[in-house]
Amino acid sequence: MLEIKNLSKRYEGGPLALDDVSFKVPQGEFLAVIGLSGSGKSTLLRCINRLIEPTAGDIIWNNINVTQASDGELRTIRRKIGMVFQHFNLVNRSSVLTNVLSGRLGYVNPAMSFFNKFPQNDIDNAYKEMERVGIAEKAHQRADELSGGQQQRVGIARAMMQKPAIILADEPVASLDPVLAHSIMQHLEKINKEEGVTILCSLHFLDLVHRYADRAIALNDGKLMFDGPPSEIDDDKFREIYGKEAERVG
């Protein structure tokens, strides 16, 4: 169970990017986060693993207060939370295998990892994860030699190496074409259904939300505007979330 309590974030000198947001996510749920550009979706997801320090509020995960954790504790929390990014955030000049293995950095002996040495067990798992998303034969290629869809699969494999309880996916398909988008979303869905990993995924397209999410929350200007099953997003709700002039597409 992940619980967000009265979370607020104010960037230095800016307005509130998150304004008193509270919600709960039961383990194993597929939660979509929707909202206009600039509404605070990325900020919310990054606050959960404290890539961004929240200004106020608490994040409680399995009775651990993430916001109060010390640096060392935070690292042990982070290693159970995988993250997938819109721009993949792979290390371009490293091999696909190294990128995937870097998902284990929170677990392995730091001294060994300085020399790029990982336990055999991890290497075997890395191949399994790459096979699951269909990029095993690319293991020794440089990450930037892969297409966008392939790179995002590397991103998913990296997150899965963490044996995560939660995956935070920040617009994982926004820079991919619709066909690839579905393939990536299906990988996430599979991970969600088969491994019981909680998924928090921000999305731009409502049809993807309807198709994959168990539940959706919507942000507008940092405020929580909606929390419920995607089917409840009717035209009125839609205007509330996206503004009066917005038109439904797709």
Partner 1 sequence: MNNNKSFKKSLGTGLAIALTLFVFAYAFQVTDVDFGTTRDEVRQTSITRVLRALAHPDIFEYETKELNVEIPFYLPCSESEMTTPDAFPADEPFLKASAYCGEASDAITIEGFNMPTYTTGPVFFITSSGVKKQLDNFQTDADGYFISEIELPNRQPVAEAQAIRATVRTNVGAPKWSDNAIATWDKIIETIFIALLATFIGTLIAIPTSFVAARNLMVENRSPLTSIAFSIIGWIIGVWTGLQAAQRLVALFAPVNENLLLGLGGLILSIGLLYGILRWSMPTEDIEKPSLGIRILSSLGIALFGIATLIFFGASFRTLGATLIEPLGIFGFLGNFIFQIGEIIVMLTPGLIAVVVGAILGNILSKLGQRTSDNMPAGQVRLINIILASLAGAVLFVLLGSVVEWFYQLSNPIKTLYWPAGVGAALGLVLALLSPAKNALPTGMIFYSITRTILNGTRSVEPLVMAIVAVIWVGIGPFAGSLALALHTVAALAKLYSEQVESISAGPIEAVQATGANQLQTIIYAVVPQIIPPYISFTMYRWDINVRMSTIIGFVGGGGIGFLLSQNINLLDYRAASAQMLAIAVVVASMDYISSVIREKYV
Ligand X SMILES: Nc1ncnc2c1ncn2[C@@H]1O[C@H](COP(=O)(O)OP(=O)(O)OP(=O)(O)O)[C@@H](O)[C@H]1O
CA-based nearest residue to 155, from 41, 211, 174, 206: 174
Give the footprint of ligand X on residues 7-26 (CB under 6 A): 11, 14, 17
For Mg ion, the nearest residue by Cβ is: 42
State yes or no: residue 40 binds ligand X (CB under 6 A): yes
Among 85, 71, 35, 68, which Cα is nearest to 243's?
35
Q: Does 112 bind partner 1 (CB under 8 A)?
A: yes
CA distance 107 to 49: 16
Q: Which of 28, 72, 15, 24 is nearest to 48 (CA)?
A: 24
Task: Check residue 102 for interaction with partner 1 (CB under 8 A).
Answer: yes
Closest CA to 133 of 168, 171, 99: 99
Residues whose CB is less than 8 angstroms from the CB of residue 209 and which lie 6 or more positions away in sequence, other chains included: 32, 34, 203, 216, 230, 233
Residue 11 contact among partner 1, ligand X, Mg ion, none, beta carbon within 5 to 8 Å by kind: ligand X
Is residue 195 part of the contact set for ligand X (CB under 6 A)?
A: no
The reply on whether position 39 binds Mg ion by CB under 5 A is: no
Q: Do the Cβ atoms of 201 and 29 come closer than 8 Å?
A: no
Interaction between residue 42 and Mg ion (CB under 5 A): yes
**Stretch of residues binding ligand X (CB under 6 A), selected from 40-48, 63-71, 72-80, 184-192:** 40-48
Kindly state the smallest distance separating residue 90's Cβ from partner 1, in Å.
7
State the nearest-atom distance from the C-beta of 143 to partner 1, in Å: 9
Tell me: does residue 220 bind ligand X (CB under 6 A).
no
What is the binding site for ligand X (CB under 6 A)? Answer: 11, 14, 17, 35, 37-43
What is the binding site for Mg ion (CB under 5 A)? Answer: 42
What is the binding site for partner 1 (CB under 8 A)? Answer: 49, 51, 68, 70, 72, 75-79, 81-83, 85, 87-94, 98, 102-114, 119, 121-122, 155, 158, 161-162, 168
